[in-house]
Amino acid sequence: MTFHSLIKKLLNKPDSSRNVAKKRLQFALVYDKLEVRDDMLEDLQQDLVEVITRYFEIDRDALSLDIQRMEGSSALILNTPILAAKHRKEGGARAHA
Amino acid sequence: MDGKVIVVTSGKGGVGKTTVTASVGAALAKQGKRVAVLDMDIGLRNLDVVMGLENRIVFDVVDVIQGRCKLRQAALKDRRIENLYLIPASQSDEKSVIKPQNMTWLCNKLRREYDFALLDCPAGIEQGFKNAIEAADEAIVVCTPEVSSVRDADRVIGLLYARSITPRLIVNRIVPKLVEKGDMLSHADVVDVLSIDLLGLVEMDDAVVVSSNTGNPLVQQKDSRAGMAFNRVAMRLDGHPDLPVEDPMAGRSFWQKVGKKLGRKDRTAKR
Ligand SMILES: Nc1ncnc2c1ncn2[C@@H]1O[C@H](COP(=O)(O)OP(=O)(O)O)[C@@H](O)[C@H]1O
Ligand SMILES: [Mg+2]
């Protein structure tokens, strides 16, 4: 570290309001982008049910789909009771997998 | 050749859209281009006052769209700068009187009549904003070095990308002294967070307020740093895309000041 950059570091402490502003901004932008509209969540739920019911019999009314937020990240949580697995015939989509 | 329609937008109000529209429009006209500036803030017009043309309005942009007059009849000629025209907003209508398809029609007409048409967008991201960006070729996003303004800029940038417009950024109202003290976001911080191309950096400048008091163009004031910054923005838009963006912090750092005192002429931008 040169003398110059040392002085700069001392003058521009990590907790200067400028740096606080930048950190808050970076978090806010990440957070804003995680926001999901309700109607999009509903569409997603319909699409997911359609796919899942190809493989399982499920209780559609008991299914829940939520977004859980944690600091800096978020998770999509799907919870559904399975009533039965569907037995697929030979030659199904996954036959060659 | 067809002209360009450029929308000036920000999300947040009061950050400098109208100032940018008036000044960059004037600077482009000074460079010899035929320029129209349009106030798209229907119901709350103020580009006319900033340009000192408020007493001459007869027709407005809504009249043009609704066919009550020709585009040329609504275009007010600037008092001081050749080839600069203002098309004012209507003061009595609501934003919803203009529909997106009207904008497509209007922008086509503007491209035929002018080299550049700058649209001063209202604050917000509702109808007025949607109208203004509907048929634009390019976009200038304006923000100040404040958390709320940069956040709104990010939102607007996202909406522009969704319309396949790649906007460029002007950071306005920079106070170098505060940046230096560590009490204001630097333009580098803002660019870093928004990851977008920079079109200009404009300092906080008393001349902006004086110019809006008198209605005299900022870009004709040789001693105004903001005015000069807008002149350079206009050069970047017209023929000199690679003109470097001048760093307002240049020559301000402690060591550069010492250097200057010692007679060194090093004024290159360091951050
Ligand atoms: N670089 C600047 N220096 C000083 N004052 C400024 C600067 N840019 C804008 N202003 C002032 O800030 C206020 C808001 O600017 P304006 O251009 O009307 O913003 P907007 O159109 O985005 O609402 C005005 O009073 C204007 O004079
Ligand atoms: Mg305005």
Q: Residue B257: its pLDDT value, please?
A: 62
Q: Residue A95: its pLDDT value, please?
A: 46
Q: What is the dihedral of CA B118, B48, B84, B36, to 10 degrees?
A: 30
**Are A32 and B154 in contact (CB < 8 Å)?**
yes
DSSP symbol at A90: T
Instruction: Collapse the DSSP code of B262 into the 3-class scheme (helix H, G, I; strand E, B; otherwise coil) and give the result.
Output: coil
Is B191 at the interface with chain A, CB within 8 A?
A: no
CA distance A83 to A59: 7
ipTM over 0.85? The verdict is: no
CA distance A58 to B221: 73
Question: Is A27 within 8 Å of A72 (Cβ atoms)?
Answer: yes
The continuous run of DSSP H or E covering B156 comes out as helix B147-162
Query: Could you read off the pLDDT of A19-60 as tens digits, one per residue?
Result: 999 999 999 998 888 777 788 888 999 999 999 999 999 988
Is B182 at the interface with chain A, CB within 8 A?
A: yes
In chain A, the percentage of residues whose pLDDT exceeds 70 is 74
B38 DSSP β-pair partners: B87, B119
- The domains of chain B, with CATH numbers, are 4-267 (3.40.50.300)
Answering whether pTM is above 0.90, one says no
Q: Which of B119, B208, B233 to mutate to test the pocket of ligand 1 (most atoms within 8 A of CB)?
A: B208
Is B147 at the interface with chain A, CB within 8 A?
A: yes
Q: Residue A69: its pLDDT value, please?
A: 75
**Cβ–Cβ contacts within 10 Å for residue B129, how many?**
21
Q: Residue B105: its pLDDT value, please?
A: 98
Q: Residue A61: its pLDDT value, please?
A: 85
Q: Residue B129: its pLDDT value, please?
A: 97
**Contacting residues of B for A12, CB less than 8 Å apart:** 182
**Contacting residues of B for A19, CB less than 8 Å apart:** 182
What does pLDDT average to in each consecutive run of 10 residues of chain B (271 residues)? Answer: 95 97 98 98 96 96 97 96 97 93 98 98 96 98 98 97 97 97 96 96 97 94 96 96 91 64 48 38
Burial state string for A51-65 with b = 16 or more CB within 10 A and e = fewer than 16: ebeeeeebeeeeeeb
User: Which residues touch A55 (CB under 8 Å, ≥6 apart)?
Assistant: A85, A86, A88
